[in-house]
């Protein structure tokens, strides 16, 4: 890689960009010191959009991306966990059926968030 090589433009969702990519990029820089990564942290929909429009070379998102026309690679799996205050009637449960979650109000991420898309999809499937 030459000194005038273009940067590696990355677009990442918030969770990956804030918690996983710092370590990944540190290890990457050790093996490819001539490559300069440029990272923008956005929601999942925007990360995919940036790859589609050639504003980013690689995107990192949680969940199911609209991947038509894109090459994708599953890097890992994760789980979403519901949390409650200790006084909540579910606080002593080890597991909560998804269908039961639909009976409660919950806080979620902004539209375009991969985590929100996953949660809404699962809750819709169970009614």
pLDDT category of residue 2 using cuts at 50, 70 and 90: low
CATH of domain 8-60: 3.40.190.10
Give the rounded distance of the alpha carbon of 80 from its chain centre. Answer: 12
Element (H, E) at 8: strand 8-12
Which residues lie below 8 Å from residue 84, measured CB to CB, with a gap of 6+? 90, 91
Q: Looking at residues 94-99, what average pLDDT do you find?
A: 83
| The pLDDT of residue 3 | 61
Q: What is the DSSP string of 6-49?
A: PPEEEEE-HHIIIIIHHHHHHHHHHH-TT--EEEEE--HHHHHH
Check pLDDT > 90 for residue 1. no
Residue 115 token pair: 């985590």
Whether pTM > 0.85 for this model: the answer is no
| The pLDDT of residue 118 | 80
Q: What strands, in cross-sheet order, belong to the sheet with 37-41?
A: 37-41, 8-12, 58-60
Instruction: Express each pLDDT in 24-40 by its tens digit.
Output: 999 999 999 899 999 99
Residue 114 token pair: 């991969």
Residue 89 token pair: 């009637």
User: Which comes out higher in pLDDT, residue 99 or 34?
Assistant: 34
pLDDT category of residue 100 using cuts at 50, 70 and 90: confident
Check pLDDT > 70 for residue 124. yes
Highest mean pLDDT: which of 3-7, 9-13, 76-80, 115-119? Answer: 9-13
Instruction: Express each pLDDT in 47-94 by its tens digit.
Output: 999 999 999 999 999 877 777 889 999 898 888 787 889 999 988 988
Q: Where are the domains of the chain?
A: 8-60
């Amino acid at each position: 890689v030459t000194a005038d090589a273009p940067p590696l433009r990355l677009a990442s969702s918030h969770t990956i960009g804030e918690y996983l990519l710092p370590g990944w990029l540190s290890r990457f820089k050790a093996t490819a010191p001539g490559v300069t990564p440029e990272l923008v942290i956005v929601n999942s929909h925007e990360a995919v959009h940036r790859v589609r429009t050639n504003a980013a070379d690689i995107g990192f998102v949680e969940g199911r991306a609209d991947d038509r026309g894109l090459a994708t690679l599953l890097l890992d799996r994760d789980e979403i966990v519901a949390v409650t205050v200790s006084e909540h009637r579910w606080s002593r449960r080890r597991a909560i059926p998804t269908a039961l979650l639909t009976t409660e109000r919950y806080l979620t991420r902004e539209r375009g968030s991969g985590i929100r898309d996953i949660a809404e999809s699962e809750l819709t499937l169970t009614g």
